[in-house]
Amino acid sequence: MENLNAIKYTKVTGDKLQKISLALGRSKRTVFAQMVDYFYRNKKDPVDLNDELLKIVLAKGHKSYMAFIRAQEDLLLVPIKQGVDKMITNQRDIVKFFNEQVLGANKTLVQNQEVFLKTAQDNDRLIKLIAQKMESRDSLKFKMLQILNAYIKAREELGTFKTREKEELAELTRKQIESL
């Protein structure tokens, strides 16, 4: 059997040890042995709450993390940032080209459409004017035909010897034609 030594401690310390052992789920003897091993291996002084060794270990860990982050920054982050910057520059160039080319073409297209619309409106007005002229031409033909028929009828009724009345009839017919 093992050589066992006994340590005497106060009731308060015993209660604290009991709480620690219950929290860890181990016996008090096991917890005590593990505490001794911990302080022996780490060379820590349990009285020193600001343990300098702990600070040194933490500082070394912090330095190693910072060195790792700096290495990753050089290996990954800087090239990624350069690539992203280049991509942003290319995107700006593409947008600038798009604005210059496509928007310029759209403006030209809109101007051409406006010119086409104006031409179409002018053509529409011209067609309507031609249609009116054709209607007035037909109306003019009809009126001219009526005047001519009236002239022929009146002349036949006058006979052959009334020269002065024939001239008056011709003058009246000319005035009717001029008024058209």
Q: Is 74 within a domain?
A: no
Q: Is 11 within a domain?
A: yes
Q: What is the pTM of this model?
A: 0.34
- Tracing tokens 């179409």 back to the chain, one arrives at 120
pLDDT digits (tens, 9 = 90+) for 19-75: 999 999 999 999 999 999 988 898 777 777 666 667 777 888 888 888 888 888 888
Q: Which residues contact 33 (CB under 8 A, 6 or more apart)?
A: none
Q: What is the pLDDT of residue 161?
A: 60
Mean pLDDT across the stretch 127-147? 82
* Domain, as residue range, for 24: 7-42
Q: Is 73 within a domain?
A: no
Q: Is 56 within a domain?
A: no
Q: Does the CA dihedral 8-11-14-18 come out positive or negative?
A: positive
